[in-house]
Amino acid sequence: GNSVTQMEGPVTLSEEAFLTINCTYTATGYPSLFWYVQYPGEGLQLLLKATKADDKGSNKGFEATYRKETTSFHLEKGSVQVSDSAVYFCALRIIQGAQKLVFGQGTRLTINP
């Protein structure tokens, strides 16, 4: 089946630290990969996406590269800010069939000043 596994949270970092949130996936087809972010009290927002192997998605200083050989889509940011505190979800979407999003369990990130 199709599934996404994220690194366990919560993750707590100091401002300006380097961030990595690991994400690996299992898919029966050729998925598109996504990172969504959920800020406190708000709905899910698309952060970045990649639709094929070796694509790099980027937004707001965050990056993730679609690695087919390791079935991974790790989220990175070189210097985090307090405003990056949120819950981050990795997700995949299969091209065939109903094309629904399958989410990981989420990783709560807290950035301390």
Partner 1 sequence: EAGVAQSPRYKIIEKRQSVAFWCNPISGHATLYWYQQILGQGPKLLIQFQNNGVVDDSQLPKDRFSAERLKGVDSTLKIQPAKLEDSAVYLCASSPGAEPGREQYFGPGTRLTVT
CB 35 within 8 A of CB 88: yes
Give the one residue of 20, 79, 83, 105 binding partner 1; rule: CB under 8 A. Answer: 105
Smallest separation, CB 95 to partner 1 (Å): 5
- Figure out which of the listed residues 1, 40, 42, 70 binds partner 1, where binding follows CB under 8 A: 42
Instruction: Report if residue 45 touches partner 1, rule: CB under 8 A.
Output: yes
* Alpha carbon distance 34, 91 (integer Å): 5
Residues 79-98 that bind partner 1 (CB under 8 A): 89, 91, 93-95, 98
Residue 22 sits in the site that holds partner 1 (CB under 8 A) = no
User: Total number of residues binding partner 1 (CB under 8 A)?
Assistant: 25
Q: In angstroms, what is the minimal distance from the CB of 101 to partner 1?
A: 7
* Contact of 109 with 9, CB cutoff 8 Å: yes
Region from 13-21, 46-54, 59-67, 70-78 binding partner 1, contact rule CB under 8 A: 46-54
Pick from 23, 28, 19: nearest CA to 7: 23
Q: Which residues contact 66 (CB under 8 A, 6 or more apart)?
A: 33, 50, 51, 52, 53, 54, 55, 56, 57, 73
